[in-house]
């Protein structure tokens, strides 16, 4: 089985894939730079046990990290506790996604994984909107190239900024209030944050689509707060909460097979596009037995 780990600034999302590509379990943890490999290994051990997955069933690890200290932490975890050398997505790793940007080395591994996933599992051209610490807009051309995108503060980041810098504002529940005209402090904050970000998404998607020209790009939303915004706008076509994990799986498989193209090099698309959506999450029955053969 394959363990895919997406380390972000706010959350760490690990997921386990069966050998047939099914995502059989995934979790969301708060990012803590101070935690040691031993502590994350204990957390992973509890999670695997709860999902009835034996640690010995993990035969491969793929890692995406935008937090450098935790990159080494999870490297150590994979080596010491799982006995495998992790594939860390970055420069030199085969991705089948040409990076048509000025500084390819600056492109985050999660953005590359998202681009590969939307290219293989959905269709291109596409815009991936990833709702995390920042709200990322990642643009993939009709040829499967990563063209760049846009960054905006994340919704939770915006809320924390308001609550910390405005004396009479506080942290609130992030939900759609049902009307844009708030009648109290909480309603005003919810309207500004939720509907403000809806307008942000609609506006940037429209501008990006106009710059791309050609057929309308598919808009795919992912990230922890994606369901909140996707429910409020027709601009989002697909809600794919496990898009980054699926992309990491595809990067891992691509490198096991020896195909693809190195990160950061412009060029034509090398791999055939997969058809249809990725596998649905399913329960693992007897994961420590028959499926211990591992992921490709």
Catalytic residues: 110
Residue with token string 């290219």: 119
Partners of 25 in the β-ladder: 16
How far apart, in whole angstroms, are the C-alpha atoms of residue 136 and residue 201?
A: 10
Question: Dihedral sign, CA of 151, 156, 162, 165?
Answer: negative
How far apart, in whole angstroms, are the C-alpha atoms of residue 18 and residue 292?
A: 9
Length of the chain: 296
Alpha helix locations (H) across the chain? 37-50, 68-77, 109-121, 155-165, 185-190, 196-212, 226-230, 243-257
Whether residue 88 contacts residue 66, with contact meaning beta carbons closer than 8 Å, is answered with no
How far apart, in whole angstroms, are the C-alpha atoms of residue 111 and residue 6?
A: 11
How far apart, in whole angstroms, are the C-alpha atoms of residue 144 and residue 153?
A: 27
* DSSP code of residue 79: I
How far apart, in whole angstroms, are the C-alpha atoms of residue 141 and residue 18?
A: 30
Backbone torsion region of residue 281, taken as left when φ is above 0, otherwise alpha when ψ lies between -120 and 50, otherwise beta:
beta
């Amino acid at each position: 089985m394959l363990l895919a780990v997406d380390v972000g600034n706010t959350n760490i999302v690990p997921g386990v894939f069966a050998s047939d590509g099914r995502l059989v379990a995934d979790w969301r943890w708060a990012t803590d730079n101070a935690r040691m490999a031993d502590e994350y290994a204990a957390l992973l051990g509890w999670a695997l046990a709860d999902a009835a997955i034996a640690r010995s069933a993990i035969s491969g690890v793929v890692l995406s990290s935008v937090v450098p200290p935790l990159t080494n932490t999870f490297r150590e975890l994979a080596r010491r506790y799982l006995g495998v050398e992790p594939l860390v997505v970055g420069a030199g790793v085969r991705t089948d996604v040409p990076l048509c940007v000025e500084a390819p080395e600056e492109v985050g591994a999660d953005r590359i994984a998202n681009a590969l996933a939307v290219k293989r599992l959905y269709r291109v051209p596409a815009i991936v909107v990833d709702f995390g610490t920042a709200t990322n807009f990642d643009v993939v051309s009709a040829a499967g190239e990563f063209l760049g995108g846009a960054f905006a503060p994340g919704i939770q980041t915006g809320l924390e900024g308001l609550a910390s810098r405005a004396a009479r504002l506080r942290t609130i529940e992030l939900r759609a209030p049902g009307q844009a005209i708030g009648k109290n402090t909480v309603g005003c904050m919810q309207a500004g944050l939720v509907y403000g970000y809806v307008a942000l998404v609609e506006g940037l998607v429209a501008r990006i689509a106009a710059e791309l020209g050609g057929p309308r790009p598919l808009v795919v939303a992912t990230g922890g707060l994606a369901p909140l915004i996707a429910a409020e706008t027709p601009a989002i076509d697909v809600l794919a909460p496990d898009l980054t994990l699926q992309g990491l799986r595809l990067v891992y498989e691509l490198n096991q097979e020896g195909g693809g193209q190195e990160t950061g090099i412009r060029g034509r698309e090398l791999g055939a596009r997969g058809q249809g959506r990725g596998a649905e999450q399913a329960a693992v029955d007897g994961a420590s037995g028959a499926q211990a053969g591992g992921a490709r």
